[in-house]
Amino acid sequence: MSRFLIVEARFYSHLNDMLIAGAKGVLEAEGHDVDVITVPGALEIPAAIALATEAERYDGYVAIGVVIRGETYHFEIVAGESARGIMALTMDGIAIGNGILTVENEEQAIVRADPSQKDKGGEAAKAALALLDLQDKFAAAE
């Protein structure tokens, strides 16, 4: 059994609740312990994961959030930089599933967040599990 941390940018509560339900459902079905913390926005997710890794309490992470395109360039900054930060951490060997939705509108977000539809929270949890499994396989090969 492993311990996972879900880091959520709690900006769209109703959408995050669905993403978290999907992620927790996958992780708990596999017998893993799950904690959830909240950060102000998607840009803070990579920093929170980096801080959490220093505590060495978690085996893997799931990033949860929703970025909906607006009228300004801010969407591109938040979507791109949050993804870049998460990718940098995964390149350092941290098992992270990226469940940050980047969508045009709320309707797209609902379809992707809902566990009974596209279940992107569950998919992010599965990605974190897959990376953790790879870590274990490579560690065993040493």
Domains and CATH numbers, the chain: 3-140 (3.40.50.960)
Enter the pTM of the model: 0.95
Whole-angstrom distance, CA of residue 122 vs CA of residue 136? 21
Residue 73: pLDDT above 80?
A: no
How far, in Å, CA of 99 to CA of 120, rounded? 6
Per the annotation, binding residues are: 11, 42-44, 66-68, 71-72, 98, 112
Is residue 74 annotated as part of the catalytic site, yes or no?
yes
Residue 42: CB partners within 8 Å, gap ≥ 6?
A: 9, 11, 65, 67, 78, 79, 82, 100
Q: What is the pLDDT of residues 36-63, one digit of tens each?
A: 999 999 999 999 999 999 999 999 999 9
Phi/psi-derived region of residue 31, left when phi > 0, alpha when psi is between -120 and 50, beta in every other case: left
Residue 27's pLDDT band, with cuts at 50, 70 and 90, is very high
**How much of the chain exceeds pLDDT 90, in percent?**
89
